[in-house]
Structure formats: structure tokens, C-alpha cells
């Protein structure tokens, strides 16, 4: 049996209570990775540089994975741009700077596909970064995530580290944020559809025209992608190290691409709801199409495993169990 190179590594997962962090904890534990360093934001304020650096120096993890940050949908980004900009920059900088100062060899940053220009060619390649204007509805968050990935790139360039950023498409799954004021579109649709009373043709309001196309991925698949690249990095896989050296950003996509309207219909069907979809065009659509070029990860040997309807069914059931 091949020895698991991660089994005895100390791994600090920042933001382990969130959707991505909790999925990663579960995935690691399923694969017998038990030496995890986990701490709540009440006990460690990731916005406090001194406390973050002191924490890293004390625990001396082998690997740091940044799953933390302030996230939300179009409405939240538009309403609180300063918080999205400043808090995300501070969290990322504190973690990557703390990693470097404490000689942490393996640092993985998680980005967002919103960092790419609004009018990027499709599918979006990593090289399209900073080739055009950002989508205004989440510009502050996108700028903050760009700072984070560029910090990794510049540390590599100046100091010879091998830090990198994984860039996932839209994620969904258990422990997502279902608050309609600041959620993404999948949890917002699930909440609106599930919370309608029984009966025929119940009206469901959807912000925008419903025409934008989005690529989504079940969060467990991102956890498997992180695990996959970490294994390769620990083993000093030449292909991966060459990719990081050339470009510290790697897309992680699913190719599950549908319009917002189509997603709504699928969720209605999986929820056994007969809904009448009402599109409120007073709200912006955002970018009209966004799908990532996933060729690098596929060449390395990774691909997502959870089909869309299975992932959505699991998320719907989780929502019912935890909110109803």
C-alpha cells in the first residue's frame, strides 16, 4: 500500500467552520488525515496580524490552507464594498506573511472566479487575469482576492517559495450561507424554493433576468482538488511545481454550466415544488457567462466526481435538516 504523504503533516485550516473549510476537514478525516490545527475566529482573529503570526509560530504547521474570508453575493458586495476589500486583504496578507516568516513550505490560497475580467473569453484561462475590467457588482471582493494571489506570486518570485492559489468556480453545498441578504445564487434559490408553501405555481422571485450562465461545483469536489494538489506538492511532482513556477494560479472547474433559470427549475424539480418563476429585472445580472478552463487540473489527473443533481439533492436535504 502506498504511504499517504499527508498523514503525519500538521495542517492549519483557516476558516474551518465555513462551507469550504468544513468540507475540507471532513474530506481529510475520511482519508485519515487527523493532525489538523483548527481554531474558531472567536479565539483567533485573522484580522490581527500579531496574533496570527504568533499562532503560526507556536503551532509550526507543515501546511497552511486559507479557506477564510468575507464572502457573499451581488447584494452583499454592493452594500459593503469596504468590508469585502479590507477584511479579505488583511486575512490573506496575515496568513501568507505569517507563513513566510515562519518558514512554512506549503501555503494554499483559495481564490474566486470573480477575479477574472467581466468580458473574458470563454472558457476562462488563468492567463486572462488582469486583461480587462472587472465586474462592478463584486469589484471590491475581486480586487482583494487578486491581492492575495499576487502576494503568493510575488513571494515565489522574490524568495523562491512555491505558494499558490486555487481558483474554483461557484461553489455550493452543506454549511453554505442561506441568508438572502448576502448569499450566493444557489443557496438563495434553495431557500426561496424550499420555503414556499405547498401548492401549485407558487411564485419565486429571482433577481435579474435569469439568463446569465454559471458553472457550479459541489464543495466536496473542491476539497478533493485541494487534497490532490497537496499530495502532488508534498511528493514534489515536477509537473505541478513547473506550473506553480510559471503561474501561481490554477483553475478548478466542473463544466456544470447552466442559466440561473435552468438551475431554478432543477432545484424546483428536486424539491418536488411546482413554482412560477418571476424575474425581477430591477436587480443586476452580473457577468452574463462564466466558465473556467480546467485543462491544467485535468492534465494533472484530477476531475470532479459529484454530479450536479446529486450535489444539489444533498444540499437541499442538508438545508431541510438544519433550517426547517
What pLDDT was estimated at residue 220?
Answer: 98
Q: Which CATH number fits domain 11-323: 3.40.50.720, 3.30.365.10, 3.90.79.10, 3.40.718.10?
A: 3.40.50.720
What pLDDT was estimated at residue 2?
Answer: 61
What pLDDT was estimated at residue 283?
Answer: 87
From 128, 133, 141, 323, the catalytic residue: 141
- Nearest-CA neighbor of 259 among 295, 302, 206? 206
Mean of pLDDT values over 15-27: 98
Mean of pLDDT values over 19-24: 98
What pLDDT was estimated at residue 245?
Answer: 92
With a cut of 90, say whether residue 19 has pLDDT above it.
yes
Distances in whole angstroms, Cα of residue 296 to Cα of each of 154, 253, 283: 21, 10, 35
What pLDDT was estimated at residue 182?
Answer: 84
Q: Give pLDDT tens digits for 162-212.
A: 999 999 999 999 999 999 888 889 999 999 999 986 555 588 999 899 999
Is residue 319 annotated as a catalytic residue, yes or no? no
Q: Collect all residues with Cβ–Cβ distance below 8 Å to 116 and sequence separation of at least 6.
A: 124, 128, 129, 290
What pLDDT was estimated at residue 201?
Answer: 57
Q: What pTM was estimated for this model as a whole?
A: 0.95
With a cut of 90, say whether residue 93 has pLDDT above it.
yes
User: Which of the residue ranges 1-15, 225-239, 245-259 would you say has the lowest mean pLDDT?
Assistant: 1-15
- Nearest-CA neighbor of 225 among 305, 107, 151, 149? 305
With a cut of 60, say whether residue 1 has pLDDT above it.
no
Q: 312: part of which helix (H) or strand (E)? A: helix 308-323
CA dihedral 178, 183, 187, 191 (to 10 degrees): 50
> Domain extents for the chain?
11-323
Q: Are the C-beta atoms of residues 127 and 247 closer than 8 Å to each other?
A: yes
User: Which of the residue ranges 64-78, 202-216, 303-317 would you say has the lowest mean pLDDT?
Assistant: 64-78
Mean of pLDDT values over 114-126: 95
Supply 32's cell numbers.
485519515
Amino acid at each position: 500500500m502506498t504511504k499517504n504523504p499527508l498523514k503525519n503533516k500538521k495542517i492549519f485550516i483557516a476558516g474551518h467552520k465555513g462551507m469550504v473549510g468544513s468540507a475540507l476537514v471532513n474530506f481529510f478525516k475520511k482519508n485519515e488525515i487527523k493532525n489538523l490545527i483548527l481554531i474558531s475566529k472567536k479565539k483567533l482573529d485573522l484580522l490581527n496580524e500579531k496574533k496570527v503570526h504568533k499562532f503560526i509560530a507556536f503551532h509550526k504547521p507543515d501546511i497552511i490552507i486559507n479557506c477564510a474570508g468575507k464572502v457573499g453575493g451581488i447584494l452583499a458586495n454592493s452594500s459593503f464594498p469596504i468590508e469585502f476589500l479590507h477584511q479579505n486583504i488583511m486575512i490573506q496578507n496575515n496568513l501568507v506573511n505569517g507563513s513566510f516568516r515562519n518558514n512554512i513550505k506549503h501555503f494554499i490560497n483559495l481564490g474566486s472566479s470573480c477575479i477574472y475580467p467581466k468580458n473574458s473569453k470563454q472558457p476562462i484561462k488563468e492567463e486572462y487575469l488582469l486583461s480587462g475590467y472587472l465586474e462592478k457588482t463584486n469589484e471590491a471582493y475581486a480586487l482583494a482576492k487578486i491581492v492575495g494571489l499576487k502576494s503568493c506570486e510575488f513571494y515565489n518570485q522574490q524568495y523562491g517559495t512555491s505558494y499558490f492559489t486555487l481558483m474554483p468556480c461557484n461553489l455550493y453545498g452543506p454549511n453554505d450561507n442561506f441568508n438572502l441578504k448576502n448569499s450566493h445564487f444557489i443557496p438563495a434559490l434553495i431557500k426561496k424554493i424550499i420555503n414556499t408553501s405547498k401548492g401549485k405555481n407558487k411564485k419565486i422571485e429571482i433577481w435579474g433576468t435569469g439568463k446569465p450562465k454559471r458553472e457550479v461545483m459541489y464543495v466536496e469536489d473542491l476539497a478533493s482538488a485541494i487534497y490532490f494538489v497537496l499530495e502532488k506538492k508534498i511528493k514534489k511532482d515536477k509537473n505541478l511545481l513547473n506550473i506553480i513556477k510559471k503561474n501561481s494560479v490554477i483553475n478548478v472547474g466542473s463544466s456544470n454550466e447552466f442559466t440561473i433559470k435552468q438551475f431554478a427549475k432543477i432545484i424546483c424539480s428536486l424539491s418536488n415544488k411546482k413554482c412560477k418563476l418571476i424575474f425581477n429585472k430591477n436587480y443586476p445580472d452580473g457577468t452574463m457567462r462564466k466558465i473556467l478552463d480546467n485543462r491544467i487540473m485535468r492534465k494533472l489527473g484530477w476531475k470532479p466526481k459529484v454530479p450536479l443533481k446529486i450535489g444539489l439533492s444533498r444540499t437541499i436535504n442538508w438545508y431541510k435538516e438544519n433550517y426547517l
